[in-house]
A = this chain, B = another copy of it.
Amino acid sequence: MSTIVQKFGGTSVGSTERIKRMADRVMREKEKGHDVVVVVSAMGKTTDALVKLVSDITSEPSKREMDMLLSTGEQVTISLLSMALQQQGVEAISFTGWQAGIQTDSVLGNAHIQSIDTGRILNELDHGKVVVVAGFQGVTEDGDISTLGRGGSDITAAALASALKADRCDIYTDVDGVYTSDPRFVPKASKLTSLSYEDMQNLASMGAGVLHPRAVKHAKKFGIPLYIKSSFEKGRGTMIHGKAKQIGSNPVIGVTFEKDINRVEMFDCEDVEGFRKALMCELASRHIQADVYKQTCRNSLSLLIKEQDLQEVLSILDKEKEKWMYSRIERKRGLSKVSVIGQNIKSQPAIKMDMCKILLENAVRVKLVGESAISVTAVVEKSQVQLAAERLHTGFGLDYKVVMKASM
């Protein structure tokens, strides 16, 4: 018996009508003879409505109570989808995160899954039931409800697929696959029909929002194929698996960008390297992603962080001020990052040079250039990021063609 995990995002279950359509999809998979586990997000606008209630009450809600609140969203969807399945004669049972045995660490609001006790799910699958699990949520060792942060339901689906050694994890979403860049902003972006885990991780970690890098990591661990496809359109999506090979010689597989980036710089630190290490450690413990650069010439430390993390990061820096003795702090909002992605890019210095050249030729003002093993990143004004992404996409030969082919 093969096991399939299906994940439906918020748009896919945005109304009772859509929930019924998704129930059809689940039923079709079940009728093929598979064991089916379904992971769902909160219905479309539910989270926004809950956040609106909070804003009437406080501007600084505790993370524990936010997780308590937001986790109700998926709980509504699992019950409704189970009812829709039962209505069609399919035996189904819903589980919240804690009922599904999803144990997380205690970084509330942005928790990481630590283990999954699949006993209850396996028992229900053995009884022939479809198991519908609430995505995005789990439970801490202390019995608090936790949420997994952005992309959380994908993470739940991939982690469950891994824990169950599923044959495939299908991610139904409102886009029809993974592209060389975000097609909403780069019209000539091409669909990638097959991708390795590594390439997907690289794209995702540098801003390709279609999938969270941790979801890819979970799937990669036990080699579970991840299939990204549209909930609403037919046609082939993107398969992410261990057997994908690069076709062609282009070392660049995509151009990613993040629009709302803040730069925070601390000047005249006494021990820049010590500060950098302590800060990286603190940010990691809170699961906050940040690029940290030091400029030894002026003993300054620069952070590039997402808008949503700004308040938390500033409060950390405020607490650390006495210890690290920086003289002043400067922040700049309205920045963006644009990156070209490919494996071992660092070993090909021509790419960085080409990138700078393309940006210069198109009058994009570059604030900062950084690089990692898999990317070169430029920080630019938010107003110029779309121009930059489009020109880099063209410049690196990514326009309008399927640059990777399935090799299954």
Q: Which residues of A contact B (CB under 8 A)?
A: 16-17, 19-20, 50, 53-54, 56-58, 60-62, 64-66, 68-69, 71-72, 75-76, 78-80, 82-84, 86-87, 93-94, 96, 98-99, 120, 143-145
Complex: how many Å from CA A86 to CA B16? 35
Verify A58–B72 contact, CB threshold 8 A: no
Verify B62–A68 contact, CB threshold 8 A: no
**What residues of B have a CB within 8 angstroms of the CB of A53 in the complex?**
16, 76, 80
Verify B62–A82 contact, CB threshold 8 A: yes
Complex: how many Å from CA A104 to CA B60? 35
Tell me whether A57 and B84 are in contact in the complex, defined as CB-CB below 8 angstroms, given that A93-B64, A99-B143 are known contacts: yes
CB-nearest residue of chain B to A98: B98
Verify B87–A57 contact, CB threshold 8 A: yes
| Number of identical protomers | 2
Complex: how many Å from CA A60 to CA B87? 8
Verify A76–B80 contact, CB threshold 8 A: no
Verify B82–A58 contact, CB threshold 8 A: no
Tell me whether A82 and B65 are in contact in the complex, defined as CB-CB below 8 angstroms, given that A16-B56, A57-B19, A87-B57 are known contacts: yes
Q: A57-B80, A58-B84 are in contact. List 11 more A-B contacts (CB 8 A).
A: A20-B57, A53-B76, A57-B87, A62-B82, A65-B86, A68-B75, A68-B82, A68-B96, A69-B76, A75-B75, A96-B145
Complex: how many Å from CA A22 to CA B300? 49
Tell me whether A61 and B75 are in contact in the complex, defined as CB-CB below 8 angstroms, given that A53-B16, A68-B94, A99-B143 are known contacts: no
CB-nearest residue of chain B to A78: B68
CB-nearest residue of chain B to A144: B99
**What residues of B have a CB within 8 angstroms of the CB of A20 in the complex?**
57
Instruction: Classify the interface of chain A: helix, strand, loop or mixed.
Output: helix
**What residues of B have a CB within 8 angstroms of the CB of A58 in the complex?**
83-84, 86-87
Question: Which among B62, B71, B98, B99 is the interface contact of A86 at CB below 8 angstroms?
Answer: B62
Verify A79–B75 contact, CB threshold 8 A: no
CB-nearest residue of chain B to A17: B56
Verify A57–B16 contact, CB threshold 8 A: yes
Distance from A276 Cβ to chain B, minimum over Cβ atoms (Å): 34
**What residues of B have a CB within 8 angstroms of the CB of A61 in the complex?**
83, 86
Distance from A252 Cβ to chain B, minimum over Cβ atoms (Å): 45
CB-nearest residue of chain B to A143: B99
Verify A76–B64 contact, CB threshold 8 A: no
Give 9 pairs: A residue, B residue, CB < 8 Å, sorted on A: A57-B87, A58-B84, A64-B93, A65-B80, A69-B75, A69-B76, A72-B72, A96-B145, A120-B143
Distance from A131 Cβ to chain B, minimum over Cβ atoms (Å): 13
**What residues of B have a CB within 8 angstroms of the CB of A16 in the complex?**
53, 56-57
Shortest beta-carbon contacts, A-B, top 5: A16-B56, A69-B79, A72-B72, A68-B79, A58-B87
**What residues of B have a CB within 8 angstroms of the CB of A86 in the complex?**
58, 61-62, 65
Complex: how many Å from CA A80 to CA B19? 28
**What residues of B have a CB within 8 angstroms of the CB of A60 in the complex?**
87
**What residues of B have a CB within 8 angstroms of the CB of A66 in the complex?**
79
**What residues of B have a CB within 8 angstroms of the CB of A69 in the complex?**
75-76, 79-80
Verify B99–A83 contact, CB threshold 8 A: no
**What residues of B have a CB within 8 angstroms of the CB of A96 in the complex?**
68, 145
Verify B54–A80 contact, CB threshold 8 A: yes
**What residues of B have a CB within 8 angstroms of the CB of A78 in the complex?**
68
Verify B94–A79 contact, CB threshold 8 A: no
Question: Which among B62, B79, B87, B98 is the interface contact of A83 at CB below 8 angstroms?
Answer: B62
Verify B83–A54 contact, CB threshold 8 A: yes
Verify A57–B83 contact, CB threshold 8 A: yes
**What residues of B have a CB within 8 angstroms of the CB of A82 in the complex?**
62, 65, 68
Verify A65–B50 contact, CB threshold 8 A: no
CB-nearest residue of chain B to A19: B57
Complex: how many Å from CA A322 to CA B50? 51
